[in-house]
Amino acid sequence: MSVVIFIEALKFIFPAYCANAIPVIAGGGFPIDFRKNFLDGRPIFGKNKTIRGFFFGLVSGTLVGIAESLFFENYPLYFGFILSLGALTGDLLGAFLKRRIGLKPGDLLPVVDQVDFILGAIIFSLFFYVSMVSLELVVAVLIITPPLHLLTNYIAYKTGLKSTPW
């Protein structure tokens, strides 16, 4: 795979990265699941998934996408919104899965923790811009995301933004 495809992959997925990262900084507050439990008696998403985090994640990713549309030809104006919404939805689905298998908020679920938001972003993007998404692009995103995700989470942990390094 060429360096160009990796750069294209970063450009493509950057709004989703921002949407996923900002809730760590700007999140907190009231849980998005309104502290309700699912049929199994466990929280739907858990205390770490908040309305404020979702809102700021969506806004930041959307703004990054708008900025990208100003600098890059053929990058739709509201593509950042689609990617951000998909990323945040994917992250919520990952949290939902973790609660179903009995993991608490903050517990590690390898692979799921690194790719749930990316898969959500990619799936949402396919509904609106299938012509922008190639198999090569998806593979590049899936290759670069886990190490970047682990590195940024470690940095957030070391700076006190997160209580766990994952």
Tens digit of each residue's pLDDT (9 = 90 or more) over 53-83: 999 999 999 999 999 999 998 889 999 999 9
> Mind giving me the DSSP string for the chain?
--HHHHHHHHHHHHHHHHHHHHHHHH--SSBTTTT-B-TTSSBSS-TTSBHHHHHHHHHHHHHHHHHHHHHSTT--TTHHHHHHHHHHHHHHHHHHHHHHTTPPTT---TTHHHHHHHHHHHHHHHHHHGGG--HHHHHHHHHHHHHHHHHHHHHHHHTTS-SS--
Judge whether residue 106 has pLDDT over 90.
Answer: no
Query: Model confidence over 2-42: pLDDT tens digits?
Result: 999 999 999 999 999 999 999 999 989 999 999 999 999 99
Is 165 part of any domain? no
Judge whether residue 44 has pLDDT over 90.
Answer: yes
Query: Model confidence over 117-158: pLDDT tens digits?
Result: 999 999 999 988 777 789 999 999 999 999 999 999 999 999
Indicate the number of domains in the chain.
1
Is 116 part of any domain? yes
Boundaries of domain holding 111 = 3-158
Is 102 part of any domain? yes
pLDDT score of 129: 77
How far, in Å, CA of 10 to CA of 2, rounded? 13
Is 63 part of any domain? yes
Is 149 part of any domain? yes
pLDDT score of 5: 93
Is 163 part of any domain? no
Q: What pTM was estimated for this model as a whole?
A: 0.93
| 153 touches 110 (CB < 8 A) | no
pLDDT score of 40: 97
Judge whether residue 1 has pLDDT over 80.
Answer: no
Is 19 part of any domain? yes
Confidence of residue 92 (pLDDT cuts 50, 70, 90): very high
pLDDT score of 164: 86
pLDDT score of 97: 98
Calculate what percentage of the chain has a pLDDT beyond 70.
Answer: 100
Is 166 part of any domain? no
